[in-house]
């Protein structure tokens, strides 16, 4: 997009990446939300956002996903001149976007929330119309480091969660019926594209120490991956840091697998996640529209 262009759409969607660039959890959630957008929208990569662009489109409604590449000056312009909403998929206040990765990289506990950048992000949240989080666990951790958030209106802080499109939910239903009888192995997510947070080696170690049969699965297309997952007894998922709402845990639950989840799975104890299967399906089917209805 040309940096001084005036957009003709009602919404401007900003993200580091979109589904067509990278098939990650944040990108899939944003894509599922956009599929149900009631009005026209313009997608802009974070790196393309300039103060001039924001000023030209300050009458639009801005939806901010992962925006690590948006300049400080542009964020100030967004915060002071537009109506905007923030979708928070991890920990934007941390320069590593994960307090645990911060500790791994520096050897020190994350204190980003106490410095100028962390306070700036808190201000960005405060000025937003609403902030959408992936889980109750993630929101609670934000409230711990930013106690002032506890006094904000409950309507301002929303649990959106990992959001699925209808096609994926329908596919999960089909696969769950296809494999009513599971094998006797545990499923571990692997592959070269698996991030440190998924902790594949830690999951393998857990299975070895507990004499559990397991397979490490990688290199499959999304549809084949889900079909493969549906054949297993259970899922072992022990992330190395806070994983705000890992999609694979939801997929495994909907496919009828047993779940062996680590403490860093942040929706593990969320009320919405611990519903009966049919109720969980109904909840997830409503999530894309729920986002737009809450604006």
57 domain-assigned: yes
Query: 277-293 and 166-178 are packed helices; what angle lies between their axes, rounded to 10 degrees?
Result: 170
148 shares its domain with 26? yes
How high does pLDDT run on average in the chain? 96
130 shares its domain with 28? yes
> Could you tell me the residue range of the domain that residue 35 belongs to?
11-162+288-293
- CA–CA dist 274, 21 (Å, integer): 32
176 domain-assigned: yes
Average pLDDT (76-81) is 98
* 235 bridge partner residues: 187, 259
- pLDDT of res. 192: 60
134 shares its domain with 178? no
- DSSP character string of 220-248: --HHHHHHHHTTSSEEEE--SS-BSS-HH
Q: How many residues does the chain have?
A: 295
185 shares its domain with 205? yes
Tokens 């259970």 appear where?
Answer: 234
Average pLDDT (76-90) is 98
Q: Give the count of domains, the chain.
A: 2
- pLDDT of res. 80: 98
- pLDDT of res. 110: 98
153 shares its domain with 269? no
153 shares its domain with 231? no
Query: Where residue 121 falls among pLDDT bands split at 50, 70, 90?
Result: very high
26 domain-assigned: yes
Mean pLDDT lowest among 1-15, 90-104, 214-228, 251-265: 1-15
Structure tokens at 66: 């992962």
Query: Where residue 132 falls among pLDDT bands split at 50, 70, 90?
Result: very high
Average pLDDT (258-267) is 98
- CA–CA dist 253, 12 (Å, integer): 34
Q: What is the domain-level CATH number for residue 211?
A: 3.40.50
Is pLDDT of 194 > 80? no
Average pLDDT (4-30) is 94
Is pLDDT of 95 > 70? yes
179 domain-assigned: yes
Tokens 């201000």 appear where?
Answer: 123
Is pLDDT of 193 > 70? no
18 shares its domain with 125? yes
94 shares its domain with 192? no
DSSP 112: G
DSSP 64: E
- CA–CA dist 289, 295 (Å, integer): 10
179 shares its domain with 260? yes
23 shares its domain with 115? yes
16 shares its domain with 158? yes
Q: Find out whether 74 and 45 touch, Cβ atoms under 8 Å.
A: no
- CA–CA dist 84, 132 (Å, integer): 12
Average pLDDT (256-266) is 98
- pLDDT of res. 195: 73
Structure tokens at 45: 């990569």
- CA–CA dist 147, 234 (Å, integer): 38
Structure tokens at 281: 């399906």
- pLDDT of res. 1: 47
47 shares its domain with 133? yes
262 domain-assigned: yes
- pLDDT of res. 191: 72
3 domain-assigned: no
140 domain-assigned: yes
- pLDDT of res. 5: 87
Average pLDDT (80-99) is 97
Is pLDDT of 43 > 50? yes
- pLDDT of res. 3: 55
Average pLDDT (220-246) is 97
């Amino acid at each position: 997009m040309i940096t001084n262009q005036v957009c003709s759409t009602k919404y401007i969607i900003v993200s580091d990446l979109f589904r067509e660039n990278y098939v990650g959890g944040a990108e899939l959630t944003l894509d599922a939300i956009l599929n149900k957008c009631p009005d026209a929208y313009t997608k802009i990569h974070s790196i393309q956002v300039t103060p001039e662009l924001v000023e030209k489109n300050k009458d639009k409604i801005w939806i901010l996903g992962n925006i690590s590449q948006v300049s400080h000056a542009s964020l100030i312009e967004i915060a002071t001149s537009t109506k905007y909403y923030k979708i928070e998929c991890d920990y934007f206040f941390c320069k590593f976007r994960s307090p645990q990765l911060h500790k791994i990289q520096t050897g020190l506990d994350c204190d980003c929330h106490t410095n100028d950048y962390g306070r700036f992000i808190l201000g960005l949240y405060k000025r937003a119309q609403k902030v959408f989080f992936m889980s109750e666990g993630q929101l609670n951790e934000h409230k711990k480091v930013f106690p002032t958030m506890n006094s904000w209106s409950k309507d301002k802080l929303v649990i959106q969660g990992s959001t699925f499109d209808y096609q994926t939910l329908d596919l999960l239903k089909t696969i769950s019926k296809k494999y009513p009888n599971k094998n006797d192995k545990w499923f571990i997510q692997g592959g070269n594209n698996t991030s440190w947070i998924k902790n594949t080696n830690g999951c393998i170690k857990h299975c070895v120490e507990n004499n559990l049969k397991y397979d490490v699965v990688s290199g499959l297309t999304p549809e084949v991956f889900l079909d493969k997952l549906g054949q297993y007894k259970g899922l072992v998922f022990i992330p190395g840091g806070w994983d705000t709402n890992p999609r694979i845990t939801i997929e495994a639950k909907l496919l009828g697998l047993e779940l062996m989840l680590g403490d860093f799975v942040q929706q593990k104890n969320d009320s919405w996640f611990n519903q009966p299967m049919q109720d969980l399906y109904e909840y997830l089917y409503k999530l894309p529209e729920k986002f737009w209805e809450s604006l």
